Amino acid sequence: MKTSELRQKDVAGLETEVKELQKAHFNMRMQKATQQLTNTAQMKVTRRAIARAKTILAQKAAAQE
């Protein structure tokens, strides 16, 4: 998901997005451990998407203070 799309979401939407991305990343880690993951580059993309969403979430929290 692009940064501009994440910035349009509210705090609750961002938190659900982070949870979904973390769940997807966990599933990829399990697939990698069982030799079922074919595209290991997707793990990097998911990890960066989690960081991007958390950063925007922190920025929104700081703006509310």
Walk along the chain (65 residues) and give the pLDDT tens digit of each residue: 789 999 999 999 999 999 999 999 999 999 999 999 999 999 999 999 999 999 999 999 999 88
For the chain, how many structural domains are there in total?
A: 1
State how far the Cα of 30 lies from the Cα of 4, in Å rounded to an integer: 30
Contact (CB, 8 A) for 11 and 60: yes
Predicted TM-score of the model (pTM) = 0.91
* Separation of CA 14 from chain center: 9
Domain range for 22 is: 3-64
Q: At 22, which CATH number?
A: 1.10.287.310
| CA angle, residues 16, 5, 30, in degrees to nearest 5 | 45
Rg (CA), the chain: 14
